Amino acid sequence: MIRVLETKEDIQLIYIVQAETNGKITSNNSVRYSVQEVDVNNKTYYFVYDELMRPIEASFGFLNVFLRDKSTNTKLMYMNALKLLYSFETIIGAKLKDFTPSDVEMFKDFMLGICRPGETIVFERLTERSPETVNQYLGVYRKYLEYLQDKNEYLSARRCVSIRTKNIATGEVNYSRGYKIKVSTALKEEVPKYISLTDYSNIIRLIRQDYTIREECIVRLMYETGLRIGEVLGLTNEDIVPEHIDGTFHNTVYIRNRLTDKRYQLAKTVLEPSSSASYKSKAYNTQNAGYQTVYITDELYELLGQYIDESHEAARKQYQSRYEKSTVADSVCGNFDNFYIFINNYGSRLSNVTWNETLRKIYRKIGLEVDEKIRDNNLSHRFRHGFAMFQIQHMHRDSIELAALMRHKSIASVMKYYRPTISDKIKLKESFAEELYGFIPELKEV
């Protein structure tokens, strides 16, 4: 019998592997793989190390060459998925390409954190992961096998039924067969937690009473345009400009990534430049590939201008050295002086950690639920969900329009917003009962 106990040292997962015979421990080993990001000449490389701190060659090529055009967050997810795979391979003594069907099923349980009693291996205290995460990881492993030019027939087996998707940007229709090996995900009946119109009104009122223009600018950008918090924090002075479109000036916000961006400032759906030469490439300068745009009202544009004038002037005077070092941003438009718009109270660019602390306090003050231990509901993302629900409930947008407004490539990504909430279901039930009783009044008699 092999007993595997998951433990943690700092933030690193370690697996204690004990062999037992007749209830006695005959061997005791640990399995520990580690990951690291290394910056060399302004370029980040991703490493997975074995138990002797030797870089794993296959993972280096996969993460840094094969995935070179993927976003930072995607590379980090792939890197952590590989670390988990290498741990499991070491525990069972087999490579992924040689996993039997029972090995694959045991690996799924291992990733989900399910500790089933087994005949030969028993797992204890495993970290729980969501079905969505495990399905993502399974996709990583298929891609990894493709890179290695290997294949696991069971893991790669496809279903017969075709799945149809449509890219709303190009009109292209794709047909693909889903994989047989995946984890079933329960359909969430509720839309994600979102900031309602009433919540938004209360938040703005509180901010104007107890906070500053900065907080109002940030929440308005998220709620009124659907920007993600990373996209907001990554905005620079040259990203918000009035542009002449169809005979009228429109206040345009450009969403793009720069080499000077920190990870929390990266935009999710556009290219990440690999060098300063990327700024002149065709892809970087193509809409919906290298950049995206949204539009803001005159009022919000003026508020942003007021914030920039007041806060940046004060920071230059009080924290000149720190301000000049921290807020500088690469220019992609040829501006000599480009800077990140949102800064903290000490003249540095505003971090997501500082912003989350502020937003958590705001939520509590107006009585909104805040996750304490398990982060199921992203604080800032509720504004983006609120933007989506406002478009559906008040602007009556269909799924194609909403996908375009939220800058999604497929309408499948926005279908979650069209599910009725609990309050919606209650209203439907009440209106049904009222209509029914109107036809048959005697039903009210009990």
Determine the pLDDT at residue 435.
79
Structure tokens at 324: 């000049």
Asked if the model's pLDDT at residue 410 lies above 90, the reply is: no
> pLDDT (tens digit, 9 = 90+) per residue, 320-352?
999 999 999 999 998 889 999 999 999 999 999
What is d(CA 215, CA 361) in angstroms, rounded to the nearest whole number? 12
**For the chain, what are the domain ranges?**
2-152, 197-410
Determine the pLDDT at residue 187.
52
What is d(CA 223, CA 195) in angstroms, rounded to the nearest whole number? 8
Determine the pLDDT at residue 76.
93
3-state class (DSSP) for residue 67: coil
β-strand pairing of 248-255 with 292-296: antiparallel
Q: Among 76-80, 189-193, 215-219, 397-401, whose mean pLDDT is lowest?
A: 189-193
HSE (side-chain half, CA atoms, 13 Å) at 36: 11
Residue 171 banded pLDDT, cuts 50, 70, 90 = low
What is d(CA 108, CA 95) in angstroms, rounded to the nearest whole number? 15
Determine the pLDDT at residue 423.
65
What is d(CA 14, CA 87) in angstroms, rounded to the nearest whole number? 9
* N-to-C CA span, the chain: 64
HSE (side-chain half, CA atoms, 13 Å) at 116: 12
Select the more confidently predicted residue: 61 or 434.
61
> pLDDT (tens digit, 9 = 90+) per residue, 365-398?
999 988 765 455 679 999 999 999 999 989 999 9
Quote the Cα angle for 186-134-18, to 5°: 125
* 164 within 8 A of 175, measured Cβ to Cβ: yes
Number of helices (H), then strands (E), in the chain: 15, 11
What is d(CA 233, CA 20) in angstroms, rounded to the nearest whole number? 53
Section 171-176 average pLDDT: 58
Section 252-257 average pLDDT: 97
pTM score:
0.74
Asked if the model's pLDDT at residue 169 lies above 70, the reply is: no
Residue 70 banded pLDDT, cuts 50, 70, 90 = confident
Section 183-207 average pLDDT: 83
Determine the pLDDT at residue 86.
96
> pLDDT (tens digit, 9 = 90+) per residue, 111-153?
999 887 766 888 988 999 988 899 999 999 999 999 999 999 9
**Helix, strand, coil in percent for the chain, rounding step 5:** 45, 20, 35
Q: In terms of CATH, what superfamily is 197-410?
A: Intergrase catalytic core (1.10.443.10)
What is d(CA 79, CA 88) in angstroms, rounded to the nearest whole number? 15
Encoded amino acid at 236, one letter? T
Quote the Cα angle for 206-208-211, to 5°: 80
Question: What number of residues does the chain have?
Answer: 446
Residue 32 banded pLDDT, cuts 50, 70, 90 = very high
Structure tokens at 290: 């290298």
Residue 178 banded pLDDT, cuts 50, 70, 90 = confident
Determine the pLDDT at residue 28.
83
> Cβ atoms within 10 A of the Cβ of 323, count?
21
> Cβ atoms within 10 A of the Cβ of 156, count?
14
Hey, which of 24-28, 75-79, 168-172, 179-183 has the most confident mean pLDDT? 75-79
**Residue 288 zone, left/alpha/beta (φ > 0; ψ -120 to 50; rest):** left
Asked if the model's pLDDT at residue 22 lies above 80, the reply is: no
HSE (side-chain half, CA atoms, 13 Å) at 44: 21
What is d(CA 446, CA 440) in angstroms, rounded to the nearest whole number? 13
* 334 within 8 A of 327, measured Cβ to Cβ: no
Select the more confidently predicted residue: 308 or 158.
308
Choose among 113, 175, 179: nearest CA to 151.
Answer: 179
Asked if the model's pLDDT at residue 65 lies above 60, the reply is: yes
Determine the pLDDT at residue 424.
67
* 191 within 8 A of 416, measured Cβ to Cβ: yes
